[in-house]
Amino acid sequence: MIATLEGLVTEKIGGTVVLECAGVGYGLQVTFEDFGALSTGNPAKLYVYEHIREDTHELFGFRQVPTKLLFEQLISVKGVGPRMALAILSVAGVEQVRQAIASGDTKFITQASGVGKKVAERIVVDLKDKVGLAASETATDFLTTPAANPNDEALQGLVALGYSVKDAAKALESVDVKLSPADRIKEALKT
C-alpha cells in the first residue's frame, strides 16, 4: 500500500498530476484546489489513496490529511465512488464541504459533477454525525452569507465575542478592509 509520495511535479494534465519519485512518474488524481496549488517543477508531498479493482488501479493524491480523511468518509457511503468523492471535494474547500454535510445542505453537495439529490441525501444521512462539526447556525451561515469569509480574522474575532456570523459580516461590510483586524473589529463594534 502506498501511503505517501514525495517528489517533483513533472506534469499537470486535466485533473491529474504526475509526481516523479526516484525516476518513476506516478499519475495522481487530485482535487481542483490541489491541482491549482501544485506547480510543475516544484517538489510536493501527497497523501495517497489507492483504488484497486480488477480492471483499474488508480491513485488519488491529497496535500493535506484532513482532505484525504473526508475523501475516505465520502467513499464509505453507498453509491459514492472515488471519482464522485473527488468531485465533491472539488466544489469547495474541505471545511465548507464538512459544513455542508453537517448542516444537511444537499443543494451544495449536488453542485458536484455526477451527484444527484438522492446521493447527496444519503451522504448527509450517513456522514452528518461523523464529519466532526455540529450542525449549527454558525456552520450554515458561512454557506449562506456571501460576505462571510471564514478566513477573515476580524470576522472570527466578532464571532468569538458572541456575534452571529451573519451579524458580524453585516457589521464589517462598511468597514475598510485595508485596516488591521483589530481596527476593523473596533470600527464594526461602533456600528
Average pLDDT over residues 162-174: 77
Of 157 and 176, more confident: 176
**Residue 191 to residues 137, 165, 168, 174, 186, Cα–Cα distance (Å):** 22, 15, 10, 9, 9
132-153 pLDDT, tens digit each: 654 444 444 444 444 455 567 7
Q: What does pLDDT average to over the chain?
A: 85
Look at residue 113 and give its three-state secondary structure: coil
Q: CB count, 10 Å around CB of 101?
A: 30
Lowest mean pLDDT among 66-70, 117-121, 171-175: 171-175
Share of the chain above pLDDT 70, in %: 85
Q: Which alpha helices (H) appear in 38-129, and where do they start and end?
A: 65-75, 82-91, 94-103, 106-109, 117-127
Query: Model confidence at 70, in pLDDT bands (50, 70, 90)?
Result: very high
Q: Domains in the chain and their CATH numbers?
A: 4-62 (2.40.50.140), 65-127 (1.10.150.20), 145-190 (1.10.8)
Question: What pLDDT does residue 15 have?
Answer: 84
Q: Quote the cell numbers at residue 62.
A: 491529497
Question: What pLDDT does residue 132 have?
Answer: 65
